[in-house]
Amino acid sequence: NVGDRQLCENFETGQLTVRVPPGVRVDWYDAPTGGNLLESNTITYETGIAGTYYAEAVSNRAYCPSLTRTAVTLEFYPLPEVTDEDLTFCNNEEITLEAGITGVTYLWSTGETTSSITVSSPGTYSVEVRDPRGCSNIKTIRLTQVEAPVISSIESENENIAISVGDTGVYAYSLDGVNYQLQPLFVDIPGGLYTISVRASDECPPVVEEFFHLAVPRFFSPNGDGINDIFEIPGIEMLSDYEIRVFDRYGKLIKSTSGEPLSWDGTYGNRLMPSGDYWYSVRIEDKSKQGHFSLVR
């Protein structure tokens, strides 16, 4: 027996070898006596199945086999167990990649030899892990970067808030940074100042933008019943730089205010103004919006 063989299981076959003097051939069997002839007239036997095999020496002058067969063992060592991964990480952040196994040596595709590495670029990374027996395996990590959404516009559409982003990704939207929805349209929202948040995943921080929702009432009815008697713009008091003006249908200025909330009871010069459409102009910092509303008596 030249030596029992121990191989890592990623070797498909192992070769067993014995040594004999000249004039002697070798036959291989699967049992110490009897059994099945596996291969004849060779000092080597190659197989991919672990186990003990038996070499029988036979004289070439006459069929005179040896009294006993020589046992030669083939053993396959298991490879270190690794699991490939598909991971994501957030834009402008780092992520730590783990080999996920101890008691081995490491060689990453980046050249590092630690059990974990920290990276900041998407791509495919691999690490070769090698156990004390010399058996190695390769773990592959496919790393994808989650791009942060880009808010292209936020608009007040009557009582609704419509958010637009610059690409077609799947995002979640929020008005308070807590409650999210998958639709970019928020319906029947009271006017006021909101913190708009858009995120690409639960793990990544959202993109945040302050937005004043200008929800101008479509009508008011100053009839003294205590319900909708005053025309006013809700939430405007949260701002500091704004101006509001109200005109009649002929363009005459009826009411105006700057830096203070407007509250109009439907009168002008102590006279009740008639039912009909009236126009407004609202300037918030450097942006303006015009429209009309109805006075209903």
Structure confidence at residue 62 (pLDDT): 84
Q: Which domain holds residue 97?
A: 85-146
- Strands 70-77 vs 5-8: parallel, antiparallel or unpaired: parallel
Taking the alpha carbons at both ends of the chain, their separation in whole angstroms is 112
**Cα angle value 215/217/223 (rounded, 5°):** 155
> Which residues touch 178 (CB under 8 Å, ≥6 apart)?
none
Between vectors from CA 264 to CA 262 and to CA 270, what angle results, nearest 5°? 135
* pLDDT higher than threshold 90 for residue 169: no
Q: List, edge to edge, every strand of the sheet that includes 180-181.
A: 180-181, 172-174, 192-199, 207-213
Q: What would the mean pLDDT of 44-48 be, rounded to a whole number?
A: 96
CA distance 9 to 6: 9
**Rounded distance, CA 8 to CA 50, Å?**
11
3-state secondary structure at position 237: helix
Closest CA to 196 of 156, 246, 243, 240: 156
Asked whether residue 61 falls in the same domain as residue 91, the answer is no
- Does residue 181 sit in the same domain as residue 208? yes
Q: Contact, 106 vs 138, CB < 8 A?
A: no
pLDDT digits (tens, 9 = 90+) for 218-258: 999 999 898 999 999 999 999 999 999 999 999 999 999 99
Q: Are residues 10 and 64 in the same domain?
A: yes
CATH code: domain of residue 267? 2.60.40
| 172 and 132 within one domain | no
Looking at the structure, do residues 207 and 261 belong to the same domain, yes or no? no
User: Dihedral through CA 193, CA 195, CA 196, CA 201, nearest 10?
Assistant: -160
CATH number at 109 reads 2.60.40.10
> Total domain count for the chain?
4
Read off the tokens for 25. Answer: 């051939």
Interatomic CA distance for residues 209 and 207, integer angstroms: 7
pLDDT at 91: 87
| Residue 293 tokens, joined | 């509303």
Say if residue 167's pLDDT is above 90: no
Nearest C-alpha neighbor of 73 from the set 53, 56, 57: 53
* The pLDDT of residue 191 is above 90: yes
Mean pLDDT of all residues in 194-223: 94
* Of the residues 171, 188, 213, the one at which a domain ends: 213
Whose structure tokens read 């909708």? 228
SS3 letters for 110-140? CCCCCCEEEECCCEEEEEEEECCCCCEEEEE
**What pLDDT score was predicted for residue 89?**
94
Confidence of residue 43 (pLDDT cuts 50, 70, 90): very high
- Alpha-carbon 296 to chain mean position: 53
Structure tokens at 36: 């099945």
Q: Quick one: what percent of the chain has pLDDT higher than 90?
A: 91
Nearest to 212 by CA among 187, 183, 189: 189
Residue 168 or 119, more confident: 119
Same domain, 13 and 57: yes
Phi-psi region at 109: left, alpha or beta (left = phi > 0; alpha = psi -120 to 50): alpha
Same domain, 119 and 61: no
**Res. 33: pLDDT tops 90:** yes
Q: Is 61 left (phi over 0), alpha (psi -120 to 50) or beta?
A: alpha
Phi-psi region of 228 (alpha: psi -120 to 50; beta: other; left: phi over 0): left
Domain check: are 228 and 256 in the same one? yes
Place of tokens 């070499």: 55
CB 163 within 8 A of CB 197: no
Assess contact for 45 and 38: CB atoms under 8 A.
yes
Same domain for 132 and 169, yes or no, is no
